[in-house]
Amino acid sequence: MPASVSSVKTEHASRYLQQLCKHWSHRFEVEFNETAGKVPFSAEASLGLAANPTNLIMTLSVEKPEDLERMQAVVADHLKRFAFREELDVIWTADESRV
């Protein structure tokens, strides 16, 4: 299952985690608290979120490799919309632990 990770530097990681989860909770069965969340986009694709005082760590898993880049853009676009007051760098790297 193709996967990638992005560690986004921000002091508002918990807020953004909760905003992302609440946003997608209207369409998916989301689980979250102040420091962790999971958005199951489908049986084969999901977004894991973890917040600490300095970073929001996002782990994206998809079934098909060709879906990874598109889903990365969707997640990054939503985060940047919520974090419009900040200039966030969302850089995805392959998650080798999922291979």
Concatenating the DSSP letter of every residue in 24-93 gives HTTTS--EE-SSEEEEESSSS-EEEEEE-SSEEEEEEE-SSHHHHHHHHHHHHHHHHHHTTTS------E
Give the bridge partners for 7, in sequence order: 57
pTM of the model: 0.93
- Residue 24's domain is classified under what CATH number? 3.30.310.50
Q: Is residue 77 part of a domain?
A: yes
Q: Residue 75 belongs to what domain range?
A: 3-85
pLDDT per residue, tens digit, the chain (99 aa), is 899 999 999 999 999 999 999 999 999 999 999 999 999 999 999 999 999 999 999 999 999 999 999 999 999 999 999 999 999 999 999 987 754
For the chain, the domain total comes to 1
β-pairing verdict for 55-61 and 93-94: unpaired
Q: In this structure, what token pair is assigned to residue 87? A: 């200039």
Give the bridge partners for 49, in sequence order: 37, 58
